């Protein structure tokens, strides 16, 4: 079945460590997105990629980095510069990134906590 796979489901980070969250999709979608969700809050956009080998900062990109070397994959690295990384991270994709009428489809999320 086609879908978006995020791994791991739960992740723990020590202070000063970088961690990478995986996101893979087999929907053949052009665009991919990373969101952060804090308890009781909506989604805030971290980074997005409208097409392979290209990505742009979202509203809260500081302390995060991404790459988009393959269409199927959009990993997110949470660096030690991110001072408050504990959150629920959601990856999404949409068929196209240049049209604003495409629904985004979400993975099951990764919950990151600081040890």
Q: Is 85 in the site for another protein (CB under 8 A)?
A: no
Residue 2 burial (C-beta neighbours within 10 Å; 0-12, 13-18, 19+): exposed
Q: Is 57 in the site for another protein (CB under 8 A)?
A: no
Q: Choose, by CB under 8 A, the member of 67, 73, 79, 102 that binds another protein.
A: 102
CB of 52 vs another protein, minimal distance in Å: 15
Dihedral angle sign, alpha carbons of residues 106, 21, 7, 114? negative
Length of the chain: 115
- Measured from the CB atom, the residue of 19 and 91 that comes closer to another protein is 91
Distance of CA 55 to the CA centre of its chain: 12
Listed residue (19, 7, 12) closest to 112, CA to CA: 12
Contact window for another protein (CB under 8 A) among 19-27, 60-68, 70-78, 106-114: 106-114
Contact window for another protein (CB under 8 A) among 18-26, 37-45, 64-72, 75-83: 37-45
Q: Is 54 in the site for another protein (CB under 8 A)?
A: no
**Residue-wise over 54-74: b if at least 16 C-beta within 10 A, else e?**
ebeebeebeebbbebeebbeb
Residues that bind another protein (CB under 8 A): 31, 33, 35, 40-45, 48, 50, 58, 88, 90, 94, 96-109, 111
């Amino acid at each position: 079945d086609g879908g978006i796979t995020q791994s791991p489901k739960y992740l723990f980070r020590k202070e000063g460590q970088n961690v990478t969250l995986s996101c893979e999709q087999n929907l053949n979608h052009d665009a991919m997105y990373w969101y952060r969700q804090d308890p009781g809050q909506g989604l805030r956009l971290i980074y997005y990629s409208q097409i392979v080998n290209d990505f742009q900062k979202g509203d809260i990109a500081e302390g995060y980095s991404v790459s988009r070397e393959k269409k199927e994959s959009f990993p997110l690295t949470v660096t030690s510069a991110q001072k408050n990384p504990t959150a629920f991270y959601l990856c999404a994709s949409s068929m196209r990134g240049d049209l604003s009428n495409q629904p985004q489809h979400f993975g099951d999320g990764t919950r990151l906590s600081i040890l």
